[in-house]
Amino acid sequence: MKRGKGLTFVGDSRILKYDKPKLNRDYSEFPGRTEEFYPDYLLKEWVTGAVFLIGFLCLTVAHPAPLERVADPTDTGYIPLPDWYFLFLYQILKYTYASGPFNVIGAIVIPGIAFTALLLAPWLDNKKDRHWKRRPIASGLMLASVAIIFYTTWESVAYHDWEQQDAQGQIVFSNLDAEDPVFNELIRTNCTSCHGGELAGGSGPGLIEPDYQPETVEAFVRNGVGEMPAFEDTLTDDEIIAISEFVADLEIVSADEAENTPESEE
């Protein structure tokens, strides 16, 4: 080691001055600027947590999640709605150039660009300056995304058919026997896509409530009506009669007597 130059000695001795002022410093050096982990810090954490917990509790009491009927993956008439924080993506899928034949754009390309940009942000936005006013491109893009998310979320809520939403998930207690082969082999493949998974209504009207005669149902199934196709050529006579009897037999029952809910299967 070179003598003298660049080295600081403590006093007159040959012991090097301790040169790590920022490391391993004792908290006692900062009176009034530290706090004990227990109980001070932990208590603050707990109070913050409790405030949020109570806030969420009030929200769930004020706006309880709607209780809908048991989810049925074969019920193609049920149009699920994403949770509110995904409504903007859902809304984007409804625009002309993001839906139908352009579905790939709405489902993959647009979210893909957004997420890739987020991933690349640390490399693209790498100026020393951290103040948002001096990073107009990054701040501008951020503000634009927030504005788009707000607008599309609002639009999605404003244009959604909430009545249809409530109706499609409504719990209807009926004597529909989900084990019945007529229901599973004929109705599930031909009717539930429009009339709902439990025939309580979808894009087509509910078939449980009206008190049909088998002949009435048969006439509808044979000839079709409005949006509903005629099944005269697709189904055999026996099948049409079996379906019509099954549908005519449906009725609303009390919750205890219901056969269409899992609880009633015991």
CB of 193 to ligand HEC, least distance (A): 6
- Residues 208/250, Cβ–Cβ less than 8 Å: yes
Q: How many CB atoms lie within 10 A of CB 245?
A: 13
Say which residue the tokens 């002309």 belong to: 96
Smaller CB separation from ligand HEC, 89 or 207: 207
Smaller CB separation from ligand HEC, 80 or 229: 229
Residue 206 CA, distance from chain mean position: 27
CB of 252 to ligand HEC, least distance (A): 15
CB of 140 to ligand HEC, least distance (A): 47
One DSSP character per residue, 110-153 reads HHHHHHHHHHHHHHHS--S---GGG-HHHHHHHHHHHHHHHHHH
CB of 115 to ligand HEC, least distance (A): 37
In sign, the C-alpha dihedral spanning 115, 119, 122, 124 is negative
Smaller CB separation from ligand HEC, 92 or 248: 248
Q: Which residues make up the interface to ligand HEC (CB under 6 A)?
A: 190-191, 193-195, 204-205, 207, 210, 217, 220-221, 225-229, 231, 243, 247
Residue nearest to ligand HEC (CB): 226
Smaller CB separation from ligand HEC, 57 or 230: 230
Instruction: Say how far apart CA 137 and CA 143 lie, in whole Å.
Output: 10
CB of 251 to ligand HEC, least distance (A): 14
Which of 83, 87, 84, 82 is closest to 148 using CA atoms?
87
Local structure of residue 24 (DSSP, 8 states): S
Extract the tokens encoding 63.
């706006």
Smaller CB separation from ligand HEC, 106 or 202: 202
CB of 180 to ligand HEC, least distance (A): 14
Instruction: Say how far apart CA 71 and CA 114 lie, in whole Å.
Output: 32
Smaller CB separation from ligand HEC, 111 or 229: 229
Smaller CB separation from ligand HEC, 106 or 197: 197
CB of 240 to ligand HEC, least distance (A): 8
Q: Where are the alpha helices (DSSP H) in 24-65?
A: 42-62
